[in-house]
Chain A
Amino acid sequence: MTDKIPVTVLTGYLGAGKTTLLNRILTEDHGKRYAVIVNEFGEIGIDNDLVVGADEDVFEMNNGCVCCTVRGDLIRIIAGLMKRQKPGAPAFDAIIVETTGLADPGPVAQTFFVDEDVKAKTQLDSVTALVDAKHVMARLDDSKEAREQVAFADRIILNKTDLVSEAELVAVEARLRKLNPLAPITRAERANIPLDQVLGLGGFDLGRILDINPEFANPAHGEPGHVHDEHCGHDHHDHDHDHDHGHAHAHHDHDHHPGARGHAHEDDIKGISLSLDRPMDGTKFTAWLDRLLGEQGQNILRAKGIIDVSGEDRRLVFQAVHMILEGDLQREWGANERRWSRAVFIGRELDEAALKAGFEACAA
């Protein structure tokens, strides 16, 4: 009972395909048992022994931090679920939390960092957002929660891709990428994605921040420092243009006109990628990050970064959810590795120029 139970959060609005995905996870022949926490009034038809209804009981902590909200129902349910666990023979191997389209993912995630009992028994693995390729644009337009769920995710599954054209997919992906440059986007039909792209992602694990997802620190196309690597997902050979599009694919078409919600669209939430090729002053950087999260943590949904600290052979890795920050010195830089600092902040009303100036002012 010393191993922490991994917890995967699935977000997405009604009709995005969460129940299909959930049933695929539960019925696939993997020999694992899951406890599933669903919304009390949510979709039915989940094929599992252990399904618990949650009631979205969000509350504020009394620690003076206004964005420090947690889910009281999750605290209670996880405490109750842990009572089923047997010494040496677990009643379940992992917990999957399915939220509604209206749920704010912040309190769900923060529960796993703030509550000492939940933290002692479980480990938040990742947040996966499921979106429906056909309806996501309209949802992103009219729903703050839909934008937040995409922005918050460690992985985005773009489902029902068979119902739209390639050009529409490219436009959707461009918009998703601007909302969240950290999360890989996986295309799917009928939620047919490999389970290892949903479970065991280690989205909050500092040690795995780069290893699983090197593209996240790659500034967006058109930004200085962007590296076209195998994760870009587009054709490398003809990439000398400089406009700010998203990730096109093998047949990508520079002339497409994505329409009103395409390039011209500005969401209130966006991801800002920062990088610096000179080493940073560790003290200055830590002070800057603490101040930034203290002042703007309410608006910052997620942040991740790897920093090249002057005089330090190891990489400083951090991740944050609102004001909750975790940072540590991880493995040493490789002998032939490019030493550079990069960070991504995803949030509302972020001042890109000020963030860039603040980040660069931390140079040693």
Chain B
Amino acid sequence: MKSMYDAQITAIVFDTEGAIFALGDGSVRFEDGAFSAAHDGAILCAVAHPSGTGIVTGGDDGRLIWHRRTDAGVLATSARGQWIDAVDASAESGLIAFSAGKTLTVLDAKDAGFRRDFQHERTFSGVAFEPRGRRIATSTYGGAALWFARIAEQKPTFLKWAGSHTAVTFSPDGAFVVTAMQDSQLHGWRLKDQKNMRMGGYPSKVRAFSFLSNGQLLATSGAQGAVLWPFVGANGPMGREATEIGFDEGSLVALVASQPKHGVLAAGLNDGRVWLADPPGQGLNFLKAERGAPITALAMSPDATRVAWADEDGNAGVSEAG
């Protein structure tokens, strides 16, 4: 499937029925043609709803909206209409968390009355649930903060590391937190002892990272190939080298996508190409071989059988990965 939109695609999400595209004009387009235009402004972030149906989007209109194929509804608004620029959700706990300015807000998809607002000292930019959905990591200047999702009054655990941290993720076993930094590197912490892991050497900012192969590999963008960090055993990548696959001197990997339980990796390049590595390290299968505008959104379906992509010019497609 291929389409062309007259706005930028800012995020792609797969729910149980198919790919869903979130656009810079505030609309949401479902793969089957369904359409939802609920935001007044651009969609800045998106995640699949914890129920498995539909997409949750955050916009520069300060609204968090759940769009399904037949209807859409506002889940929450930010204070003073601040931009909602990061969102995550947990199917395990049924919670949704989003950032607006210095506030982290947690909602319960099954309990419309539940809302927690946690204040940070500075603006933060990334939100990630721990795999069981009970804790939340946020990335900010000077490190990452860890919050318990449901406790009303609390002080977060702060994982310190100098610099500006712009995105965050948990390893699938919950043992590590990894951030992407302004300074073209990753930083990681082993939670049990807060041991630091410096993961550097990138020629460019890391815009995307994703675990695969049962959490044994963390794939990242930001280099001429996709970078793979080994997360095996209690030490994770400490003392081990990263590998790079699909190296191409003339381009940069802009985005990566994978699913933690599957050993397949998709990469979107800044020259418009999209490839699949199954398994990583044994050659590339180009899902989109023609060059064009940089890839700006990339997603893999939960069963790792389909990959959806979009480029800066509004072209989008869904390819079978199998």
A residues with a Cβ closer than 8 A to B are 1, 52-53, 55, 57, 59-63, 72-73, 75-77, 80, 83-87, 89, 91, 115-117
Contact = CB atoms under 8 A, between A and B. Distances in A.
A108 to B, nearest CB: 16
Nearest to B22: A83
A72 B164 contact: yes
Nearest to B184: A116
Contact of B6 (A75, A84, A89, A115): A89
A83 B123 contact: no
Interface stretch (B39-47, B106-114, B130-138, B280-288): B39-47
B101 A86 contact: no
Interface string B302-314: 0000000000111
Contacts, number: 76
Contacts of B181: 62
B52 interface: no
Contact of A72 (B7, B8, B123, B162): B123
A236 B43 CA distance: 59
B216 to A, nearest CB: 29
Interface size class of B (residues with CB under 8 A): 20 to 34
B314 A86 contact: yes
A59 B8 contact: no
Nearest to B161: A62
Given A57-B123, A86-B24, 14 more contacts: A1-B293, A55-B123, A57-B122, A59-B164, A61-B182, A62-B162, A72-B123, A72-B164, A75-B182, A80-B60, A84-B8, A84-B25, A86-B6, A115-B182
Contact of B8 (A53, A85, A116, A117): A85
B15 interface: no
Which 9 residue pairs across A and B have the least CB separation, nearest first? A62-B163, A83-B24, A87-B313, A62-B183, A83-B42, A84-B42, A83-B10, A87-B314, A59-B141
Interface string B135-170: 000000100000000000000000000111000000
B116 interface: no
B213 interface: no
A60 B163 CA distance: 7
Contacts of B163: 60-62
